[in-house]
Amino acid sequence: MGKKGLEKVLDQELRGEKGIQFVKVDAVGRTVSEVFPEKKKPPHPGKDVYLTLDARLQLYADTLLEGKQGALVAVDVRNGEILTLLSKPDYDLAEFSEAINPALWASLISDTTKPLFDRAAQATYPPGSTYKLVAAVAALNEGIISPSWTVTCPGYFRIGRRTVRCWKAEGHGSLDLIGAIKNSCNVYFYQLGLKIGIDLWHEYSKLFLFGKKTNVELTSENAGLVPSKEYYDKVYGKNGWTKGLLANVAIGQGELLVTPLQMAQFAMILANSGIYHPLHLRKKLVDRITGEVDTVAVQTFRVKKIRPEVFEVVREGMREVVDGGTGWQASVWGLTGAGKTGTAQNPHGKPHAWFIGFAPFEDPEIAVAVIVENGGSGGGVAAPIVGKYLRRYFSFQGKYDYEAERKWRIKMWKLQQKQKALQDSLDALEQSLQDTLPQ
């Protein structure tokens, strides 16, 4: 039955069991009588599989990424249930319910946008600035820096003979760690990466479960790549690589590769200050005959070694990202969220746009990861998608009201207009008084 993905993984549960009956037949194959009735076994239909996916959110996410290439993964951080798992472009699954039309199959496999490729689980990308959070955690937890460690960003940084740039050409000026996360300063994290070193950076990447599959119920999931000292020695020769490579991976570039599923898992870990639950798509299995329900048990783990106060600092930086930082367009009126933008350089075209985030900040429910291939800016493209998705999610929870937000914004606009009119009147009055004074 199952040829790919979830249906292949759960094939045994869906397939059921064949029945057994022994009969005596005549010369033309007609049943004459039953024999060995004690060995008769009735067939047992396959179990019904209930998924964690929210159909309403899945459909809405599909509209948000319409016409784009990318993926969106949303997770309930309280139990690891995947609420949305979207890869775009996609195809009509109904076409595969029976023998597929050869012409349609030919068009699918020749399509350069690869609709058959599951970008959420199989595609790997450099994570861009979203990965700066790993360097921040490593440096804080190891006592290499304090949250108040300050760097002055002039817009560039020299590593030996090489000059690397910040995304903000004129520089960010003086920033501490939270300011560097909020403004996604490359220069700050170039220096942080050099302080940490490749071994610690690799260790903390592994602590956050990068470089290994999430083991969600899918086939062909990709593990990604977290380069190590041994990896670079093999590629470039022993000690034949430069510090520039380390500075590059510290900001999520270079050989480092992750999947959208891994990034959603990462966002969940940060949301829960180190606690995580294995990602899963299967909610329960129901036996059609007995009515027996087999519910997937929620497992809980904690990331080793990292102190709670370290997560507090990094989470505060993520809150600042959404509250007036590079990811402000992911904000939800009436709620406090947190996140991190990423703009991953791409040698084959425009940068990939990333955003990971979670909400509410104080008591997290949901984490989201979005990538738009060749989308450009993470803050300008991916963050608004997450903002719209979260508004829809919280509207279903009764915690967000679009109409209430609209009325509030109109009220604020009118208040601003009144304040402006009052200030204009005061300025005019002051000018008229000055005109009456003797020169």
- Whole-angstrom CA distances from 209 to 176, 222, 327 are 27, 13, 24
Say how far apart CA 275 and CA 302 lie, in whole Å.
4
Q: Assign 165 to helix, strand or coil.
A: strand
Encoding tokens for residue 148? 């108040």
d(C-alpha 138, C-alpha 61), whole Å = 33
Q: With H, G, I as helix, E, B as strand and everything else as coil, classify residue 439.
A: coil
Is the CB of residue 47 less than 8 Å from the CB of residue 287?
A: yes
The pairing of beta strand 70-76 with beta strand 293-295: unpaired
Asked if residues 310 and 325 have their Cβ atoms less than 8 Å apart, the reply is: no
State whether the Cα torsion 424-425-429-430 is positive or negative.
negative
Radius of gyration from C-alpha coordinates of the chain: 28
In 10 A of CB 433, how many CB atoms? 9
d(CA 274, CA 267): 10
- What lies within 8 Å, CB to CB, of 150 at 6+ separation is 174, 175, 176
Count of CB atoms within 10 A of residue 84's CB?
27
Would you please indicate which residues are annotated as catalytic (active-site) residues?
129
Helix (H, G, I), strand (E, B) or coil at 375: coil
Pairing type for strands 338-344 and 82-88 reads unpaired
Cα first-last separation, the chain = 96
Q: What's the token pair of residue 85?
A: 């798992």
Q: What count of other Cβ atoms lies within 10 Å of the Cβ of residue 220?
A: 11
